[in-house]
Structure 1
Amino acid sequence: MNDAANDFTGPTLTLGQRLRYLRERRGMTREVLAGLVGKSASWLKQVETGRLQQRPRLPILLQLAEALRVRDLSELTGDQSMPVRMFNGPGHPALDAVRHAINAAPLQPTGVVQPLSTLRARLDTAWRARHASPDHRTTLGRILPDLIRDAQLAAAMYAGQDRRRAQALLAETYGLAQMFLAYQPAQDLLWRVADRALLAAQESEDPLALSCAVWFLGQAHRDAGDLDAAWDINEQGLAAIEPHMDSAGVELRAMWGALSFELAFTAARLGEAGEAWRHWEEAGRVADRLPDDYYQPWTSFSQVVMGAHAVTVAVELHQGGESARQAERALSAPIPSRPRRGRHLIEVARAHHLQRDHAAVLGTLQLAQQTAPETIRYNGYARRMALELAELPGMRRQAHELADKIGLMA
């Protein structure tokens, strides 16, 4: 790139030059970045070289900005100033309280330590409350600060086998916190809890806690766009728990299935269709051997979620026809978790979006909003689709109503 392009603050840089600079700064190939926004590498090359006749529309610019982790669209376009966080989730009112609890890890622990059975019961209650709530972040925001502090204190104060059990509970508590933090403007905090969860799980020497922490860490890597790291940590997690699988109970077998699906998800993001469907089938074989009514609270892994997973794989592979077929099969899947059901509906909307069926996109997003308002409010895909719909003639009134409900018009 020429000297002018290397001066990223220069006012004369084109959109394409800025795009190439930001992409190369993150060490991303054209194929990877294009895949993250559902475009071809040749399309991206045309944008970077200024050969595309029409400037990319706002929803695509937002996807590029999110993939490149820029905070303001002006960094990408040079002539707009629209915070990217408008199209990610807002900061929840309870975020500061959760941040304070996480950061207040006791270096010199004192106080009354909760019995481990009590902490276990509180965690179980928290998971049930999350899955039952349409506004799961608000629910968790009330529970997490005290639960985090008590779990951190227990991990610091107990000794011997009880300490290992406390570390497993702490790792799970951090995983629950990651559910709250995801898609909020708190990436530093999300990485902190993901890393701490893995350390606590390793200290616990519990393969179930370790596999759960790996699942959460893999999610963090994948959502950050580091697909190679997500793949590696998932493979390492499977290798770590494989020696325990001969005697594994239901929960650990379900974690094997959940990690197998994460490989399918990551392969789909990489555009590797064969690998994606192979790992989805492996996860399905695991799910088929679980009890019919089983539903894992941490990962949602179960028989009933496999149809939703198939929609996600097809959508990430940009297989329009297949994603539509999978969406039709799985639309009414009786997923018992409201936030997970809301997320599934957003994936169904993405499938309709690939088919350019705007009416179906709008109707499915409206259903997602009714099912789990805080899921759609914090989902970047849903927010971008709503914005795009609001620009279409004949759909503006309903689309604007939806955009207002999910906080885009604030």
Structure 2
Amino acid sequence: MPSDVTPDSMDHPLVFGQRLQVLRTRRGMSRTVLAGLLGKSPSWVKQVENGTLHTPGLSMILRVAEVLRVRNLGELTGDQTMPVDLFIGPGHAKLPAVRDAIDAFLFDIDREAPSAAHLSARLASAWSARHSAPNHREVIGGLLPGLIQDAQLAVRQADRAPERRAAQAVLAEVYGLSQFFLAYQPDSALLWRAAERGMVAAQESEDPHAIGVAAWLTAQAHRDSGPGHFDAADAVTLKTLRYLTPLLPDASDDVRAIAGALQFEAGYTAARRGDTGTAWNRWDTARKMAKRLPADYYHPATSFSRAVMGAHAVTVAVELHAGGESVRQAAKADAKTIPSRPRRARHRIEEARGYQLDGQPEAALATLDKAYEAAPETIRYNGYARRIILEETESKSPTHRRRAAELAVKIGVLAA
């Protein structure tokens, strides 16, 4: 999700090392942690920061930007002539309408709100449309304003406590869907507003599934804000698991799936920390929970299912910077079993990260081509894909440069 770094102290000229130190400090990241994530020594980071070593090459700059979740390369290099956004995608044309719906006050609307059952059916259709669409933001961006307004209206008009709780549950999950649209767009404050409102609505609903989905999304928002927020991500994940666990013996498939998804999220955060044992243990727990779900089950919000566990294994290996293991897990995972086009594209991007870690840039680019075929909007908004493609545009291989440049034009990183 979008970075919250806003380096306002960088309006005056600073050299690369100084900018690196400011951004690293704002992320709450030590030199030792940054060095480990970059495959360098702490002394290397120190020498870059104090200017003993010169500015590194583009490939390392891109890796630093990825680790620190820098908004664009200009913030890191000081070169405002190359404002390449990595972890903020292009603002979608439907973003203003979604923003207006989230921020609206409905006191002047006198029509009758749809029932919670009607809204639930519309929400299910919206999820289905998202999973089947290559340009999923375009699809759900058109559906969200009406869904948000009607769900808000249903909560406002509910007279009895059961009706109000049911409406709050739907509203929470509508806010959840909106976060898939808002992620990586240039309005991180709006994303957090949706996440916080979703969590409040879920708690008001007292619905375990709504609470689980809201917690899952909130944990992701914390984790993607950088290492300084990993503890907050874990707190949300683990507290929600403690709440859900006693309910699981008699729970629906959806509740059991969200508990499994939260188990994996705990593993994902552990992998980001470099905690190999915890990461794989959490993945294995989640895998066992997935095996207890029906073979054809697929959770609409989290994608949790038997089909996605192979993709999750690739993600764990990649986040642990284990290139060989990433490739081995990718060979075992079957992307074709993932029914969601955007989730399948996301898996392909993770595979590409694994191939690049393993020193196979040609395979990485070929896999990113597959991601583009599955869902162009997913790769267009994904910072990891952007980093790989930009890095390979500087490759010594003419074939790699040409292929990377073609992809860069497709996703809008370079002009045609």
TM-score by length of 1: 0.93
1:376 deviates by: 0.5
Aligned to 1:157: 157
* One-letter amino acid of the structure 2 residue matched with residue 99 of structure 1: R
Give deviations 1:337-364, integer Å, cap 9, x for gaps: 0000000000000010001111101110
Q: Following the alignment from structure 1 to structure 2, what is the Cα–Cα distance between the partners of residues 344 and 261?
A: 15
* One-letter amino acid of the structure 2 residue matched with residue 50 of structure 1: G
Bigger Cα displacement from structure 2, 194-203 vs 155-164: 155-164
Question: Given the superposition, is the C-alpha separation of residues 14 and 179 from structure 1 closer, same or farther in structure 2, using an over 3 Å criterion?
Answer: same
1:179 deviates by: 0.4
Identity of aligned residues (%): 56
Bigger Cα displacement from structure 2, 228-237 vs 268-277: 228-237
Bigger Cα displacement from structure 2, 17-26 vs 151-160: 17-26
Query: How does 1:223-262 map onto structure 2 within 5 Å?
Result: 223-225=224-226, 226-262=229-265
1:227 deviates by: 1.4
Aligned to 1:351: 354
Aligned to 1:139: 139
1:128 deviates by: 0.3
Q: Following the alignment from structure 1 to structure 2, what is the Cα–Cα distance between the partners of residues 38 and 174?
A: 38
- Structure 1: state its 5+ residue gaps: 1-6
Aligned to 2:210: 209
Larger RCO (CA under 8 A, 6+ residues apart): 2
Q: Following the alignment from structure 1 to structure 2, what is the Cα–Cα distance between the partners of residues 80 and 352?
A: 31
Q: Following the alignment from structure 1 to structure 2, what is the Cα–Cα distance between the partners of residues 31 and 377?
A: 32
1:51 deviates by: 4.0
Give deviations 1:147-193, integer Å, cap 9, x for gaps: 11111111111131010000000000000000011111110111000
What value does the CA root-mean-square deviation take over the aligned residues? 2.1
1:276 deviates by: 0.2
Aligned to 2:29: 28
Contact 2:24 2:30 in 1 (8 A): yes
1:63 deviates by: 4.4
Partner of 2:300, secondary structure, is: coil
Contact 1:86 1:408 in 2 (8 A): no
Q: Does 1:273 align with 2:276?
A: yes
Partner of 1:85, secondary structure, is: coil
1:140 deviates by: 0.6
Q: Following the alignment from structure 1 to structure 2, what is the Cα–Cα distance between the partners of residues 408 and 265?
A: 28
* One-letter amino acid of the structure 1 residue matched with residue 344 of structure 2: R
TM-score by length of 2: 0.91
Question: Given the superposition, is the C-alpha separation of residues 144 and 358 from structure 1 closer, same or farther in structure 2, using an over 3 Å criterion?
Answer: same
Aligned with 1:303 (options 303, 306, 312)? 306
Q: Following the alignment from structure 1 to structure 2, what is the Cα–Cα distance between the partners of residues 390 and 331?
A: 29
* One-letter amino acid of the structure 2 residue matched with residue 309 of structure 1: H
Aligned to 1:18: 19
Aligned to 1:3: none
Question: Given the superposition, is the C-alpha separation of residues 35 and 106 from structure 1 closer, same or farther in structure 2, using an over 3 Å criterion?
Answer: farther
Question: Given the superposition, is the C-alpha separation of residues 87 and 197 from structure 1 closer, same or farther in structure 2, using an over 3 Å criterion?
Answer: closer
Question: Given the superposition, is the C-alpha separation of residues 290 and 72 from structure 1 closer, same or farther in structure 2, using an over 3 Å criterion?
Answer: closer
1:242 deviates by: 2.2
Q: Does 1:407 align with 2:412?
A: yes
Contact 2:237 2:266 in 1 (8 A): yes
1:40 deviates by: 5.0
Contact 1:331 1:348 in 2 (8 A): no
Partner of 2:337, secondary structure, is: coil
How many residues are paired up?
403
Q: Following the alignment from structure 2 to structure 1, what is the Cα–Cα distance between the partners of residues 15 and 256?
A: 52
Contact 1:87 1:384 in 2 (8 A): no
